[in-house]
Amino acid sequence: MSGGLALTELRLSHFRSHRAAQVMLDGRPVAIHGPNGAGKTNLLEAVSLLSPGRGLRRAAAEDLARLPEALGWRIAATLRAGARHHEIELRAEPGQSRTVRIDDKAAPQLALGRLARILWLVPSMDRLWTEAAEGRRRFLDRLALSFEPAHGEAVLGYEKAMRERNRLLRDQQRDPAWYRALEGQMARSGALIERRRRDALERIGRAQEGAATQFPVALLSMSQEDLGEEGLGVLLERERGRDMAAGRSLRGPHRADLVAIYGSKDMPAAQSSTGEQKALLISLILANARALRADLGAAPILLLDEVAAHLDARRRAALYDEICALGSQAWMTGTEPDLFEGLGARGQHVTMDADGGMRQEG
Ligand SMILES: Nc1ncnc2c1ncn2[C@@H]1O[C@H](COP(=O)(O)OP(=O)(O)OP(=O)(O)O)[C@@H](O)[C@H]1O
């Protein structure tokens, strides 16, 4: 519907609690309800794995196999992107890493990023603004990755070079020649990372300006100034002595933090109420989705795990209206069917039983 990206079919086998499951979809938002432990989040996790990375639980491939059998697992999906359909298959045999096939050809994980833009909000992110900076950096990199799938390669390249530099530092290696290539790599990748993070924040800021939304504006900025490749190279060289004493690289984009202000109150997000923090996250994911739609002409797939239950009735209605206006196939979970009454026939409804059985309505 409305030209968004959408899964039209999802089939799981031996994935988490699902021995065999299948849903057929038409692009409308998907409301999934059922009791605790029914496997709703597992279903969303399967969808999240159709984008690069380890999915919304950051799980290792072996944790995804259905216990107690722990046989190989498989996720197969049909993705509609404009007028085209793609068949995506992810699978892993016991003890092996996952493999990806797109349209029946082996593909690298990163290829998924160009095909399926998938954003998510999960309950563990409720503490995003109050907990350690690492979570916010990961969130920030996911924002950047949503706009530029190659961002993931820059992050991996930076981290690899930094790990090697840290090893030299711990070994008290003093010869500058050992450091030059690694610091050059860190400066190159680091500058790309900084630029893309900032670019993502700008795009999201623009998408929040004048948007018809009931959710609060989140003003985002970076805790560090953007040094650029040359500046980062100079910094790393200058800090080598101090880094050696610490046994690790103390400064660089790997230490950046994301600063969020609750717009209308001009107050740090961390000091907002629990409900306000949730509303800020929803606001950001919707802005991210609007910005992506403006770029690509198609709204991304959204995964909103247990979001509806945390909103008052007015905001819940606003969320459904905004999702429908976006034209996004949003997958939403909740324990009670009445949470999705306001979505009505604008969505597809899936009921899950305690034992994971699924029934589709509408
Ligand atoms: N590898 C696995 N094999 C079999 N079952 C698993 C596996 N991993 C998780 N589970 C089971 O899946 C169930 C959790 O599923 P899920 O998190 O999707 O529930 P949910 O429907 O989202 O529930 P809630 O409403 O409580 O969040 C748990 O019962 C858990 O034991």
Q: Is 38 annotated as a binding residue?
A: yes
70 Cα–ligand 1 center, Å = 15
- Indicate whether 332 pLDDT > 60: yes
Task: Note the pLDDT tens digit of each residue in 27-41.
Answer: 999 999 999 999 999
SS3 content of the chain, % helix, strand, coil (to 5): 45, 20, 30
Q: Measured between alpha carbons, how far is 291 from 298 in angstroms, rounded to an integer?
A: 10
CA 40 to ligand 1: nearest atom: 21
Please check whether residue 6 is in contact with residue 323, taking contact to mean a CB–CB distance below 8 angstroms.
no
Distances (CA, A) of 12 to 64, 74, 88, 97: 11, 6, 12, 17
Q: Which of 33, 40, 310 for a ligand 1 pocket mutation test, highest count of atoms within 8 Å of Cβ?
A: 40
Q: Which of 19, 42, 339 for a ligand 1 pocket mutation test, highest count of atoms within 8 Å of Cβ?
A: 42
Neighbour tally for 279: CB within 10 Å: 23
Task: Note the pLDDT tens digit of each residue in 169-216.
Answer: 999 999 999 999 999 999 999 999 999 999 999 999 999 998 889 999
Which tops the pLDDT comparison, 275 or 162?
162
pLDDT band of residue 356 (cuts 50, 70, 90) is: confident
pLDDT band of residue 264 (cuts 50, 70, 90) is: confident
Task: Note the pLDDT tens digit of each residue in 237-246.
Answer: 999 999 999 9
CA 305 to ligand 1: nearest atom: 22
- Indicate whether 3 pLDDT > 60: no
ipTM of the complex, rounded to two decimals: 0.98
- Indicate whether 134 pLDDT > 70: yes
Please tell me the predicted confidence (pLDDT) of residue 1.
Answer: 41
Q: Is 265 annotated as a binding residue?
A: no
Q: Is 35 annotated as a binding residue?
A: yes
Please tell me the predicted confidence (pLDDT) of residue 266.
Answer: 87
Percent of the chain with pLDDT over 70: 99
Instruction: Find the mean pLDDT for residues 141-160.
Output: 95
